Amino acid sequence: MKRVIALFTIAFVFAGLAVFQYKNDDNNSVTMASPAAGFKPKAGFEATAFKLPALDEQSYEVGGKQGKLTFVNFWASWCGPCELEAPDLQRLHEQYGDAIQLYGVNATKYDKERAARDFVNEHEFTFPILMDRAGDVTKQYKVDTFPTTFLIDSEGIIRERINGVITYEEWERLIEKWM
């Protein structure tokens, strides 16, 4: 009898979790344009535009023809290399903030939002941090290692995909090359 009650309790808990997940599924958290035919998230292909909320819940649209070089960095708070790269990202924003658009995209589906907020505060980021809560953008851009960064030119073409950390001097070289 105790076994039946235990199984019933476990089933009830799982049913409750399913209902909770269904009720909290936010389909409005991300807007993505239809990807260009043959979209591949690598150099030479048109970047699929997307719109995500930032930490302050303001929405930002990324991709497409922006008129400036766009720097999109996918990261997670638990990622050691992201921790190493963080000071360079803030420094790049301070140096090139008027000439480029720099966005951090937190892979929130694979992270904890509170940890992401703490990470941003600790590193004193002053550039927009977008929250990919559903994981759709991270999936579309086939990001499976962190950090992964895309440099997208003013016409919306991906010029560089960088997996991992590179030196500040290399970032400067790439930014100058594609500006």
Walk along the chain (179 residues) and give the pLDDT tens digit of each residue. 776 675 555 555 455 444 445 445 444 444 444 455 556 788 889 999 999 999 988 999 998 888 899 999 999 999 999 999 999 999 999 999 999 999 999 999 999 999 999 999 999 999 999 999 999 999 999 999 999 999 999 999 999 999 999 999 999 999 999 98
Question: Could you tell me where the DSSP H helices lie in the chain?
Answer: 2-23, 80-96, 113-123, 136-140, 168-178
Q: How far is CA 119 from CA 46, 87, 155, in A?
A: 31, 11, 32
Cα–Cα distance for residue pair 161/15, rounded to 1 Å = 42
* Cα–Cα nearest to 106, from 81, 90, 80, 82: 82
What DSSP designation does 47 have?
A: P
Residue 44's contacts (CB-CB under 8 Å, 6 or more residues apart) are 157, 158
The pTM of the full predicted model, rounded to 2 decimals, is 0.79
Q: Which domains does the chain have, with CATH numbers?
A: 29-178 (3.40.30.10)
Cα–Cα distance for residue pair 20/156, rounded to 1 Å = 38
Q: Which two tokens stand for residue 30?
A: 């991300």
Strands 100-106 and 129-131: parallel
CB atoms under 10 Å from CB of 24, counted, come to 7
Q: Which two tokens stand for residue 63?
A: 């991709």
Strand partners, 162: 149
